[in-house]
A and B are shown apart, each in its own frame.
Chain A
Amino acid sequence: MTRFQWYGEGIPGVDLSALCGKLVVIEGADSVGRSTQICMLRDWLESRGHAVFDTGLTRSELTQEGLDQAKSGHTLGRKTMSLFYATDFADRLENQIIPALRAGYYVLSDRYFYSVCARDTVRGADPKWLEGVYGFALKPDLVLYLKADVEALIPRTLYGKGFSYWESGMDLALGVDLLDGFKIYQSRVIKELNGMSERFDWVTVDATRDPDAIFRDLQRAIDPILVPTPVGTP
C-alpha cells in the first residue's frame, strides 16, 4: 500500500493511510500532447484491470463559472487570479482526486498545480509564496513530464486549437501578435517547468517524437509503480 505524503501542511481531516490508489500526473506545455497520451494510458491501464479516473480536463464545479468570467473580462488582479486557481485546484483535489484515490483508482491528472505555478511565476508571482500556498497539495506517485521546445509546439498549436490570448501571454503584452507572444510566453513557462522537473524529480520524456514512441517511454516509467495484476491479463 502506498504511503502518500503532503507537500506541506496538507488538508485537514484527510486520512492518508486510507488512500490506496495511485496518482500519476502528466505535465507539459500547452499543445504538447498530454491529452493524446492520457487517452492511451487510460486504455492501457483499464485493459490491465485497473480503474482509471482522469481529471484536469474539466474545471471544478465550484470555480468554473467564476474563472471563465474572470478570464473573459480580464478584470482580476494577479494575486486574486493566483488564489482563484488555488481554490480551483484545492476543490478538485479534495472532491475528485482524493475520493478516487480512496476508492483505489489510478488517477491520471492532466497537469497538477505545477503548471499553475509556472504560469503565475511568469506573471510575477513570488515562487516562495506559491510554494506555501500549495502546501495543501498531495505528492503524486509519479510525474511524467512531456518536454518539448517552443518550436515543436508551434505547428501543434497552429494546426490544432489555434493560438489564443492566454496561451500567448497577451495579458503580459509580450509580443506584437499571437505567434510572437506564444514564442516568448511559452519559452518562459517551459523554463519554469524544466526547473520544477529537476526540483521535484519528474520523469522527463522527449515529447517531440511520434505519439507511440512517447507512449512506450511513459509505459516504462509507470511500470515500477503498477500493482501486479491477476494472471491472464495482457
Chain B
Amino acid sequence: MDTGALVQDEKRGMLIIVEGIDGSGKSTQIHLLHRWLVSEGYGVFFSEWNSSPLVKGTTKLGKKRKVLTPTTFSLIAATDFADRTEHEIIPALKAGAIVLADRYAYTAYARDVARGVPRSWVRNLYDFSVKPDIAMYFRVPLEVSLDRILTGRAQIKYYEAGMDIGLSTDVRESFKLFQERIMREYDNMVDEFGLTVIDGTRSIEEQQAEVRRIVSHKLAENHGVLGELKGDQVGRISIRRIEANS
C-alpha cells in the first residue's frame, strides 16, 4: 500500500480500526476501548468517519440535491478519507499516538461495491491508506443489526437506505436489502485483508474483554515505542476531555 507521506519506520504509533454494518455494536466497543486506553495512560487520537470540514459541505450538498451517483459518492468519501489520512492519521501516527477509527477503507470497499462500483477500482482508490495494525470486524446476524437500527430510529435517510440504487421503493425494505449486500461484501473481505472477526452476538462486556485482549497483545509487541508516551500526564488530560464531552 502506498502511504505517500508515511514510511513504515517513521510510524511510531498504532492504528486500530473497527468495521461492521450499522447496528453491529462496533461503535460501542471502540468507545469503550478508547476510554480504557486513555485510563491506561496512552495518548489516543480518534479519527471520525466523514469528518473532513471542507468535503463535508460537498457531501451534504450532494445528498440534499440527490445528485450523488455510486461513482461520485465513492469518490467524495475517498476525498474525505484522504483529507483525514493526510491531516490527521499520518501526523498522529508519526507522533506516536494510538489512532482509533470507527469505520475505515473497508467500509468503502463494502458499501461502494454494494452500490455497484467495481471492486478493483475502489481498492486502487484507497491505495494511499495506512494499513491498520488491528482491524476488527464486528459480525452479527443481519436480523440482529436491523432490529437494533430499525426499532431505534424513526427515519432512515435516502442514501443510507440505498434508495439510489433502486432495491425497493420502500425505505425500510431497501435498507434491509442494502445492508445484506454490504454484509456479504464484508464477509468476503475477511481473508483478503486479514480482518479479525469479533462475534457481536455476545454481551458487551464479553466483547470488550476480547477487544482488550487483542489490543494488549499488540501493545506488548510494540512496548518499546508506545511505552514512551505512557504517562499519567497524558492519561489524566484525555480522561478529563472525554468526561467533558460525554
Contacts and interface: CB of A to CB of B under 8 A. Distances in A.
A204 B54 CA distance: 38
A91 B69 CA distance: 8
B79 A80 contact: yes
Interface stretch (B83-91, B93-101, B184-192, B196-204): B83-91
B67 A61 contact: yes
A156 interface: no
Nearest to A126: B2
Contacts of B62: 62
B128 A79 contact: yes
A74 B127 CA distance: 24
A133 B125 contact: yes
Interface string A73-92: 10111111011101100110
A135 interface: yes
B233 interface: no
Nearest to B76: A87
B151 interface: no
A87 B79 CA distance: 8
A127 to B, nearest CB: 12
Contacts of A79: 4, 82, 85-86, 128
Interface in A45-66: 61-63, 65-66
Q: Determine the interface band of chain A, counting residues with CB < 8 A from chain B.
A: 35 or more
Interface of B is mostly: helix
B61 interface: yes
Nearest to A66: B58
A69 B54 contact: yes
Interface string B36-59: 000000000000000010110110
A70 B61 CA distance: 16
Given A8-B121, A9-B120, A76 B72 contact: no
B127 A129 contact: yes
A98 to B, nearest CB: 10
Contacts, number: 102
Given A8-B121, A76-B83, A83-B82, A90 B75 contact: yes
Interface stretch (B9-17, B24-32, B111-119, B134-142): B111-119
A13 B67 contact: no
Contact of A12 (B71, B83, B127): B71
B78 interface: yes
B13 to A, nearest CB: 19
Nearest to B113: A12
Nearest to B62: A62
A87 B72 contact: yes
A70 B54 contact: yes
A90 B4 contact: no
B58 A12 contact: no
Nearest to B78: A83
Given A12-B71, A129-B124, A80 B61 contact: no
Contacts of A129: 2, 124, 127-128
Given A76-B54, A80-B86, A12 B117 contact: yes
Nearest to A89: B75
Contact of B72 (A13, A62, A78): A62
B132 interface: no
A94 to B, nearest CB: 5
Contacts of A75: 54
A61 to B, nearest CB: 7
13 contacts: A10-B118, A11-B70, A12-B117, A13-B70, A62-B68, A63-B58, A76-B86, A79-B86, A82-B82, A83-B75, A87-B76, A129-B2, A132-B127
Which 5 A/B pairs are nearest by Cβ-Cβ distance?
A77-B86, A132-B124, A12-B116, A9-B118, A83-B79
Given A80-B86, A87-B58, 17 more contacts: A11-B70, A11-B71, A12-B118, A62-B58, A65-B61, A70-B54, A76-B83, A77-B86, A79-B86, A79-B128, A80-B79, A83-B75, A87-B79, A90-B69, A90-B72, A91-B67, A136-B71
